[in-house]
Amino acid sequence: GQFLVEQDRATIYNQGSLKSITMNDPGEKTPLTFLSHDPDKYGSLTAMANTVQPGTSKVIVCIHGKPTGCCATVFDVDGKSHSEDISLEDHCHQDRTDDLAKNFKKARRKLIVASVLCVFFMVAEVVGGVLSSSLAVATDAAHLLTDFASFMISLFALYLGQRKPSRAMPFGWHRAEVIGALTSVLTIWLVTGILVYIAIERIIYADYEIDAMIMLITSGLGVLVNLVMGMSLHQHSHSHSHNNNEELATKEDGKKNINVRAAFIHVIGDLIQSVGVFIAALIIQFKPEWKVVDPICTFLFSILVLLTTFAIIKDTLIVLMEGLPRDVDFDDVMNTLLSIDGVMAVHNLRIWALSLDKTALAAHIAIKPGTIPQTVLKTASNKIHQKYNFFEMTLQIENFHIKMEDCAQCQVPR
């Protein structure tokens, strides 16, 4: 829109709307309300028009109606007619409340549905495993028990992740999700180890009998239930953009909740395991003397469990070690900051994972003499927000010194 300031009158033109006020007394603060460039996102915006002394007007434009800051535009007018184009900008702190609540509800719903299905079939598999004396079915039931425990841990972690930051926990409880996923994987490794031990005993002593028909029915139901659970947990990634920023939209929508992902991988492992048990049951049904297939399946399934959970362990360790997320290019972020006019160097650039889908950034930006720090800060903030999707960002502006070139702490890490 356009803001027109005269000696004692301020007029805002924006998308056909017009608001005119008269400023009479020095020091008077008059709020102005006008439509934004994106009414669906921001609705009505508020500007503040101040008369600081007779014949001079100071106009502060902020989409939140707050004092001037990183999202405000200031015009100082000397009493003559003056017009400026206003470029409305997002606030320096992104509003994440709606997105977090939406993601939380979606993840919670998926985990609850999967938990209910898991508990019902787990009971059925325990009964079937006891009646058939099948270690493979018992392995599948134990796997489901671990899955159910992991779902409960994940739900609790999601709840903690919604708690607001505090002085004691400045980043909030987002890493509770990571701890929940790590605990889930370690638990399933423990149960798998116990079942492998039992399988070894069976192969050595061969003192067991298997009811192949019950094993067949139970494993067949297992395939069906795991298919349903897998579909309920599957995270479809659909992206689109209303502001032509397709790259950011793709990154935003492509993020997956780590606990739902962990649960989905568990279910995929269960599905393959149930198919294997079903095939083993068919073999034993027609060739009872081949009952050794049952403990052999347990070995194969144990290897499968390790392979399917290794990726989660790797991702959680990156988060806990505050490592660079795999989807962020350090050099690209560095070059983005260096491309800003007036920037001589960037050091102490830190990019780390708060959780698997939340990334933080901190950097020191050294500018050449005569450069306006606030301009560099605003430009850098806008570029980073537009190109990336950092959850937290802190930028420090400082004057460039020649000593920075030899300072060990100012060097770019390898």
Q: How crowded is the C-beta side of 108, counted as CA atoms within 13 Å?
A: 14
**Any residues with CB less than 8 A from the CB of 83 and at least 6 apart, and which?**
2, 3, 4, 5
Instruction: Detail the DSSP E strand segments found in 39-79.
Output: 44-53, 56-62, 72-77
pLDDT at 355: 82
What pLDDT score does 88 carry?
40
Q: What is the pLDDT of residues 315-348, one digit of tens each?
A: 889 999 999 988 899 999 999 999 999 999 999 9
> Which amino acid is residue 112, in one-letter code?
I
Mean pLDDT, rounded, for 257-276: 74
For the record, the structure tokens of 187 come out as 């638990």
Provide the β-strand partners of residue 82.
Answer: 5
pLDDT surpasses 80 at 357: no
Whole-Å CA distances, 22 to 12, 50, 79, 328 = 12, 11, 13, 50
The whole-number pLDDT of residue 98 equals 54
Q: How confident is the model at residue 287 (pLDDT cuts 50, 70, 90)?
A: confident
The DSSP code sequence of 281-326 is HHHHHH-GGGTTHHHHHHHHHHHHHHHHHHHHHHHHHHHHTTPPPT
d(CA 305, CA 143): 9
* Intrachain domains 97-320 and 330-410 with the same fold: no
SS3 177: helix
Strands 82-85 and 2-5: antiparallel
pLDDT in tens, 72-95: 344 444 444 344 444 444 444 555
CATH number, domain 330-410, options 3.30.70.1350, 3.40.630.40, 3.40.50.720, 3.40.50.2000: 3.30.70.1350
Which segment of 58-62, 121-125, 184-188 scores lowest on mean pLDDT? 58-62
402 has pLDDT over 70: yes
The pLDDT value recorded for residue 338 is 94
Query: How confident is the model over 58-70, as pLDDT tens digits?
Result: 444 443 433 333 3
| Mean pLDDT for all residues in the chain | 72
Give pLDDT, residue 335: 94
Highest mean pLDDT among 189-198, 208-217, 240-249, 365-374: 365-374
Determine the average pLDDT of the residues in 393-413: 86
Q: CA nearest 33: which of 56, 4, 63?
A: 63
Which pLDDT value is given to residue 55? 45
Query: Up-side HSE of residue 245: CA atoms within 13 Å toward CB?
Result: 13
Neighbour count for residue 231 (Cβ, 10 Å): 11
Domain spans in the chain, listed from the N-terminal domain onward? 2-85, 97-320, 330-410
Which pair of tokens denotes residue 247?
């790259």
Sheet hosting strand 72-77, strand order edge to edge: 29-35, 44-53, 56-62, 72-77
CATH class of 97-320: mainly alpha
Residue type, 133: S
Residue 397 reports pLDDT greater than 50 = yes
The pLDDT tens digits of the residues spanning 267-284 come to: 777 787 788 888 888 998
Stronger pLDDT, 300 or 32, i.e. the higher one: 300
